[in-house]
């Protein structure tokens, strides 16, 4: 429903109707609309982690780090509304707190581990958590550009720009120095 109706059309009443149950039953299960949205938020991170978990680890730490970007891109393409929920404030009723932010812990740890392998191999330099945040921010920016139609009109141009941004990011981090 989130995918077909969008944020504006996502109501507890419509969810209940789609599940062939009553609105009070949905409230009984989730407490309120924010509780329902919270469960979608958690499910999104479970789904994204499952995709990361399917990635093989190779002997090339750089290639393994670069492989994170297409997974983020494909997840966002396959689940645009869910991605907006996970990575922006799509619902006024739902503002992720510390507990909700833990939902992304496995995803964060996966990316940080890939970054750490590159640091340990001398491929990049910097703080693993900082670099993981930057990697995710660049991916989110590219996703927004692509979904808005601003990253190009052909698959070839969009792929080229994703590859260029990823390569530039990794290359830039190879000469990064930790702040004093």
C-alpha–C-alpha distance, residues 180 and 54, integer Å:
38
pLDDT-derived band at 1, boundaries 50, 70, 90 = confident
Residue of 174 and 99 predicted with greater confidence: 174
% of the chain at pLDDT higher than 90: 66
- pLDDT of 180 above 70: no
The Cβ of residue 75 has, within 10 Å, a number of other Cβ atoms equal to: 22
Domain ranges of the chain: 1-31, 37-174
Per-residue pLDDT at 178 exceeds 70: no
Tokens representing residue 97 in the block? 């707190």
What span, in angstroms and rounded, lies between the C-alpha atoms of 74 and 180? 37
**Could you tell me the pTM of the whole model?**
0.87
Please tell me the number of Cα atoms within 13 Å of 8 on its side-chain side: 0
Higher pLDDT, 91 or 16: 16
| Residues 59-114: tens digit of each pLDDT | 999 999 999 999 999 999 999 988 988 888 777 777 777 777 777 888 999 999 99
Q: Does domain 37-174 have CATH number 1.10.357.10?
A: yes
Q: How far apart are CA 91 and CA 15, in angstroms?
A: 15
């Amino acid at each position: 429903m989130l995918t077909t109706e969008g944020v504006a059309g996502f109501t507890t009443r419509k969810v209940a109707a789609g599940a062939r149950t009553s609105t009070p039953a949905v409230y009984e299960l989730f407490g309120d609309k924010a509780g329902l949205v919270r469960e979608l938020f958690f499910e999104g991170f479970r789904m994204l982690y499952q995709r990361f978990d399917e990635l093989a680890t190779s002997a090339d730490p750089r290639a393994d780090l670069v492989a994170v970007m297409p997974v983020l891109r494909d997840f966002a393409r396959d689940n645009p509304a869910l991605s907006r929920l996970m990575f922006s404030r799509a619902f006024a009723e739902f503002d992720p707190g510390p507990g909700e932010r833990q939902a992304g812990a496995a995803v964060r740890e996966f990316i940080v581990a890939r970054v750490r392998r590159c640091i340990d191999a001398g491929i990049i330099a910097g703080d693993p958590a900082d670099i993981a945040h930057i990697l995710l921010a660049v991916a989110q920016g590219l996703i927004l550009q692509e979904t808005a139609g601003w990253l190009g009109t052909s698959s070839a141009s969009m792929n080229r720009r994703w590859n260029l941004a990823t390569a530039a990011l990794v290359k830039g981090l190879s000469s990064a120095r930790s702040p004093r």
